[in-house]
Amino acid sequence: MTREELKREVIRLKKEKNVLLLAHYYQEDDIQDVADFVGDSYGLSMEAAKTDKDTILFCGVHFMAETAKILNPTKKVLLPDLEAGCSLSDNCTYDDFKAFKERYPDHVVVMYINCSAAVKTISDYIVTSSNAEKIVNSIPKDKKIIFAPDRNLGRWVQKVTGREMVMWDGSCVVHEAFAMEKMMKLMNQYPEAELIAHPESTEDVLKLADFVGSTAKMLNYVKSSPKNTFIIATEAGILYKMKESSPEKILIPAPVEEENTCACSLCAYQRVNTLQKVYDTLVNETPEIFLEEEVMDKARVAIERMIEITESVNV
């Protein structure tokens, strides 16, 4: 089948089988085109929680599909490739984090959503990059905090909230890949450009940035800014929606050290999902996410705490 035929089949099958197709901003363009909703992990979690469809086909990475299952456990949750992992999640295992946490018994755990369901069961607050500041600000000042697993995001949250935090030493391979020397050259070449960066980026990138924010906030910033040219430091999948919402603007992906086809930063894990696999998943209704009831019940506590604080106007 051609890509257009595949897309038509995906749209037909999801209707026939009563499937909600969710896609993260970092998915390839064709997958974003056939999705019912494209968003960040927070927005996608909220869509998953409220759907009345029978099945959720989650085009993102494993921890995101797990979160969908936890929030709506009676639904069948499918992920096109179970190998769609996350470097942050992989480097913060349950056993290692449990041992780390035991060294700080009087601390609460603020855990980035980029972790396994098992790690969520031993966390107090789940955060995403769009709500981490608000959630940390809601924690009583006398509480000591562990932040995991992204030290770059943690350092940024520490800076904007003024809260000292014990940091797990992890990072995202995509956001660690930006090449500073090439970035400076690009900024000299486009002196009118603003650099906008995701808080998972390294400290040197964040220091240079004109704006730091989550994917959804970056999208809004570009759309509402009077400026015309932007260098975008996050996974390059976001450029698809950015171009759609700001077609008149010049958007340049931040350069990476390793040359690849686009010379930009792509998440190898997000990209294991392909349009063909999306189609196959709809046909075969597998691979499916399975989690133990007890794990889901425990993990849901910290996720629901995140939602409650994020949606609250009083915090």
Which spans of this chain sit near ligand CIZ (rule: CB under 6 A)? 24, 40-41, 128-130, 198, 214-216
Of 158 and 310, the one with the shorter C-beta distance to ligand CIZ is 310
Of 107 and 243, the one with the shorter C-beta distance to ligand CIZ is 243
Q: What is the distance between the alpha carbons of residues 53 and 64, in angstroms, rounded to a whole number? A: 18
Name the token pair of 288.
């499916």
Instruction: Find how far residue 87's CA is from the centre of its chain.
Output: 12
Min CB(159)–ligand CIZ separation in Å: 17
- Angle at CA 267, nearest 5°, toward 264 and 270? 140
Judge whether 225 and 194 are in contact, CB under 8 Å. yes
Min CB(28)–ligand CIZ separation in Å: 16
Min CB(213)–ligand CIZ separation in Å: 8
Secondary structure E strands in the chain: 19-24, 37-39, 55-59, 76-78, 107-112, 125-127, 144-148, 165-167, 194-197, 211-212, 229-233, 250-253
Of 30 and 40, the one with the shorter C-beta distance to ligand CIZ is 40
Min CB(129)–ligand CIZ separation in Å: 4
**Which residues are within 8 A (CB) of 303 and not within 5 positions of it... i.e. 6 or more apart?**
45, 67, 70, 71, 113, 120, 126
Min CB(173)–ligand CIZ separation in Å: 13
Of 240 and 279, the one with the shorter C-beta distance to ligand CIZ is 240
Of 42 and 97, the one with the shorter C-beta distance to ligand CIZ is 42
Q: What is the distance between the alpha carbons of residues 262 and 255, in angstroms, rounded to a whole number? A: 9
Min CB(289)–ligand CIZ separation in Å: 17
Min CB(5)–ligand CIZ separation in Å: 30
Of 216 and 306, the one with the shorter C-beta distance to ligand CIZ is 216
The amino acid sitting at 152 is N
Q: Which of 155, 173, 168, 154 is nearest to 98 (CA)?
A: 168
Of 40 and 81, the one with the shorter C-beta distance to ligand CIZ is 40
SS3 142: coil
Min CB(26)–ligand CIZ separation in Å: 7
Dihedral (CA of 83, 84, 86, 92) sign: negative
**Cβ neighbours, 10 Å, residue 246:** 18
Dihedral (CA of 188, 172, 30, 40) sign: negative
Of 70 and 216, the one with the shorter C-beta distance to ligand CIZ is 216
